């Protein structure tokens, strides 16, 4: 065969990787495994087979974790957590460094075992997964070293329950364990039922590194084992990577348990190709985007959007490239597409294409298919409508769904037409177009002229129903640390009851709601009297209803252009609000004093002064809460951009009626969000007076909306609303658990007080924590150079 023929046919001889070392490792351990608890392996129990999906052969028997196994693992983790957290950052760094080195020393064994267990091509395991695993432990060794100096006010959360998927078994383990133990937490991790072997090999690595007993515990099993971990009362933080459906169940199951929760869930990521793109490069990128790991990737570029003028040429070249893809034994280094992880997943892929492929035109690559094993050919389905099932639902297989667009604005509209928001890719030779489109895409990660770039320094995670939180980078550490400041239980704050003899002064005063920049009567038609502590009737406020919330959310959405304004403009408006409040300081102080008895610690005057100061603080932050250019190991940059969350619904503090409201509003709008604020339930008049200040401070209509009424009902309505992006709760009414359960409907972000008080006058009342909660981090990867 000539060189030309080789390039034309892309035919290569087999290059098999030997599995003998990995199989010998399994044999040496009796082809069966117990759990790894408190630094040692338990005796193998009743279990299930872990099979090679390429040929169906059983590799080992994995023990099914029981409730008692989980209890033992949590007990061990709890006992180890205190001493581990007190260990110096430098000492923890040395352990993480040792783990990284051992991963490198055993890299070939890890790679082969991963391919045997998962079915992915050995080239991917060897060249991508395992190096990234080592990179995560090296990177977080550095984070452990720097924690005491750079995060002096942070401490470990406690015991972390972690449940990982089968598509990147060892890499997902590294994403979870490395930051957790670096920050002083201990972990109980459950690998996927299909792919537990590399996690068990990692347990041996922990032993070789001399990691203290109980810091890392691994319990194998099915979904019931995972449920036992995430709902265990001894778990302080839950980290889950998997499907959106399971993530929704976890959100509901953990509601009210006061657990920190991060979810990295599904996606339906767009892959946008503009007409000026390097088509051949874009096609090679697409091969990596959708056929990498057989398409079993949460951020796979499974929705192809091609500009109409080049669509037919692009499809023709893509079909030719698909015809040259090689499918077969994943241990063959010449194979491009390996095996689907399990017959159950293979059946799901087949069913989705069979049931809905007729909505478009199906093309399957004419590849030689293995006679045995779980294999599915690379598939392209064109001519699909944006609402087609296959364009909306995650297939999690080697199936690419395609449609066309005419203009960049239409491309953005189609790309964002999904309930997911994990990743996106765009290809263009026009840097101006790329940097115009990338910020408009609703995704946690955007790749420009590249795809599937990952690094420990750049946080990964999504928005919408693709999850909450980030993994990796500085932003990822927030999921594994908490503030050292302590808080007390928050007692319910009651309104002043109607006195026996009511003092009525002057004309009737009925405060309205504030929606869309206008005063609005409550749809309920009801109002509630507000009494002062000296027996005076201070006025009436409207009782907000479901329809009032609906109107306020619509107004907030209509003001979404606020997020595109400059930080400088938002700062000016916040300063203006402070100025106008200052001119009426005496009036507001009088209202606050009338509603609440003056205490030795606080007074109306002190609250107004603190409120003005807080407005100045967030005006200062509006143009200074910067993103980062991450130092990723490529010739390019990963820009971590701070973006507004969207529409924030907030139940404001009862005990600080003005300061609590402003401490929520100011950071939200400073970062470009719009908000629906439910005022202090017992003392609402400060909030209704405040909208008069907004009217005179150039705040665009709909940016701030104020509703008065009962917190539990209005909070439930806000949380149920599908167009509210985040819920904050600082109410003294204990409703955090109910709001968490309700938030599972669309997995909106939650920041809830869990019934604990916050010192609104001190550092707890403001600062970076509020800014972090008011923003999402989008990482935009931009390679450069020829």
Q: Which residue is catalytic, options 17, 124, 227, 264? A: 264
If you ran DSSP here, which 8-state letter would residue 209 be given? T
Strand 445-448 versus strand 775-783 pairing type: parallel
Q: What DSSP line would sit under 396-438, residue for residue?
A: -SSEEEEEEESSHHHHHHHHT-SS--SEEEEE-S-HHHHHHHG
If you ran DSSP here, which 8-state letter would residue 44 be given? P
Task: Give the sign of the dihedral formed by CA 65, CA 68, CA 72, CA 78.
Answer: positive
Q: What DSSP line would sit under 621-681, residue for residue?
A: HTTT---EEE--SSSEEEEEEEEE--EEEEE--SSSTTHHHHHHHHHHHHTT-EEEEE--S
Retrieve residue 177's tokens: 């364990």
> In this structure, are residues 757 and 607 in contact, taking their beta carbons and an 8 Å threshold?
no
Retrieve residue 334's tokens: 């010449």
* Close Cβ partners of 22 (under 8 Å, ≥ 6 residues apart): 109, 112, 113, 116
d(CA 237, CA 230): 8
Query: Which residues face 704 on adjacent strands?
Result: 675
Residue 677's φ and ψ, nearest 5 degrees, are: -105, 125
Strand 379-382 versus strand 361-364 pairing type: antiparallel
d(CA 269, CA 466): 10
d(CA 400, CA 360): 12
* Close Cβ partners of 516 (under 8 Å, ≥ 6 residues apart): 551, 552, 554, 555, 558, 701, 702, 705
Half-sphere exposure for 157 (CA within 13 Å, toward CB): 24
Burial class (CB in 10 A: 0-12, 13-18, 19+), 602: middle
Collapsing DSSP to helix, strand or coil, 36 comes out as strand
If you ran DSSP here, which 8-state letter would residue 753 be given? -
Q: Which residue is catalytic, options 160, 206, 298, 652? A: 298
Active site residue 264: yes
Residues with a catalytic annotation lie at 264, 298
């Amino acid at each position: 065969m000539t060189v030309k023929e080789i390039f034309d046919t892309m035919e290569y001889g087999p290059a098999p990787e030997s599995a003998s070392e990995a199989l010998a490792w399994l044999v040496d351990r009796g082809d069966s495994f117990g759990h790894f608890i408190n630094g040692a392996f338990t005796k193998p129990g009743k279990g299930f087979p872990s099979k090679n999906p390429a040929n169906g052969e059983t590799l080992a028997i994995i023990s099914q974790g029981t409730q008692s196994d989980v209890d033992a693992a949590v007990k061990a983790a709890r006992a180890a957590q205190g001493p581990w957290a007190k260990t110096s950052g430098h000492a923890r760094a040395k352990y993480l460094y040792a783990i990284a080195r051992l991963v490198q020393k055993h890299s070939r064994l890890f790679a082969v075992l991963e391919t045997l267990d998962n079915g992915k091509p050995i080239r991917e395991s060897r060249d991508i997964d395992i190096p990234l695993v080592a990179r995560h432990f090296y990177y977080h060794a550095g984070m452990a070293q720097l924690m005491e100096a750079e995060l002096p006010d942070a401490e470990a959360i406690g015991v972390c329950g972690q449940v990982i998927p089968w598509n990147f078994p060892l890499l997902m383990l590294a994403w979870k364990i490395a930051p957790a133990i670096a920050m002083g937490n201990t972990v109980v991790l459950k690998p996927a039922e299909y792919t537990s072997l590399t996690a068990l090999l990692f347990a041996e690595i922990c032993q070789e590194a001399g990691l203290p007993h109980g810091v890392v515990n691994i319990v194998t099993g099915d979904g019931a084992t995972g449920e036992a971990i995430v709902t265990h009362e001894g778990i302080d933080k839950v980290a889950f990577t998997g499907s959106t459906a399971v993530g929704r169940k976890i959100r509901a199951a953990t509601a009210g348990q006061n657990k920190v929760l991060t979810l990295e869930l599904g996606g339906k990521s767009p892959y946008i190709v503009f007409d000026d793109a390097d088509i051949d490069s874009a096609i090679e990128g697409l091969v990596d985007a959708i056929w990498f790991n057989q398409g079993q990737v949460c951020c796979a570029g499974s929705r192809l959007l091609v500009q109409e003028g080049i669509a037919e040429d692009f499809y023709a070249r893509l079909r030719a490239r698909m015809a040259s893809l090689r499918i077969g034994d994943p241990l063959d280094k010449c194979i491009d597409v390996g095996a689907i992880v399990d017959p159950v997943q293979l059946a799901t892929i087949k069913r989705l294409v069979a049931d809905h492929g007729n909505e478009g035109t199906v093309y399957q690559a004419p590849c030689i298919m293995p006679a045995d094993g779980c294999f599915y050919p690379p598939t392209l389905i064109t001519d699909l409508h944006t609402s087609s099932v296959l364009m909306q639902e995650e297939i999690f297989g080697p199936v690419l769904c395609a449609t066309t667009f005419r203009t960049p604005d239409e491309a953005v509209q189609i790309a964002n037409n999904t309930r997911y928001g994990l990743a996106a890719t765009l290809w263009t030779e026009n840097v101006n177009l790329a940097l115009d489109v990338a910020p408009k895409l609703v995704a946690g990660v955007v790749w420009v002229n590249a795809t599937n770039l990952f690094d420990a320094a750049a946080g990964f995670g999504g928005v919408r129903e693709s999850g909450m939180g980030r993994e990796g980078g500085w932003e990822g550490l927030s999921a594994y640390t908490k503030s050292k400041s302590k808080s007390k239980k928050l007692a319910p704050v009651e309104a002043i009851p109607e006195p026996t003899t009511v003092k009525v002064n002057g004309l009737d005063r009925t405060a309205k709601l504030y929606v869309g920049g206008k005063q609005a009567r409550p749809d309920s038609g009801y109002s509630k009297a507000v009494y002062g502590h000296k027996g005076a009737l201070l006025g009436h406020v409207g009782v907000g209803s479901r329809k009032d919330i609906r109107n306020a959310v619509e107004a907030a959405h209509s003001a979404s252009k606020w997020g595109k304004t400059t930080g400088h403009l938002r700062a000016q408006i916040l300063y203006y609000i402070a100025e106008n409040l200052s001119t009426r300081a005496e009036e507001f102080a009088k209202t606050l004093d009338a509603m609440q008895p003056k205490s030795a610690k606080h007074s109306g005057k002190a609250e107004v002064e603190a409120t003005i100061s807080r407005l100045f603080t967030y005006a200062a932050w509006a143009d200074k809460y910067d993103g980062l250019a991450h130092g990723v190991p490529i010739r390019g940059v990963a820009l971590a951009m701070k973006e507004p969350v969207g529409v924030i619904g907030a139940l404001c503090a009862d005990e600080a009626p003005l300061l609590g409201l402003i401490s929520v509003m100011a950071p939200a709008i400073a970062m470009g969000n719009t908000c629906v604020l439910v005022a202090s339930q017992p003392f609402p008049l400060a909030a209704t007076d405040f909208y008069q200040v907004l009217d005179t401070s150039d705040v665009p209509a709909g940016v701030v909306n104020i509703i008065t009424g009962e917190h539990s009902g209005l909070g439930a309505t806000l949380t149920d609303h599908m167009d509210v992006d985040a819920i904050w709760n600082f109410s003294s009414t204990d409703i955090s658990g109910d709001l968490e359960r309700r938030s599972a409907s669309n997995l909106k972000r939650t920041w809830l007080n869990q019934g604990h008080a916050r010192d609104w006058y001190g550092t707890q009342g403001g600062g970076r924590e509020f800014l972090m909660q008011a923003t999402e981090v989008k990482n935009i990867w931009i390679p450069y150079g020829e």
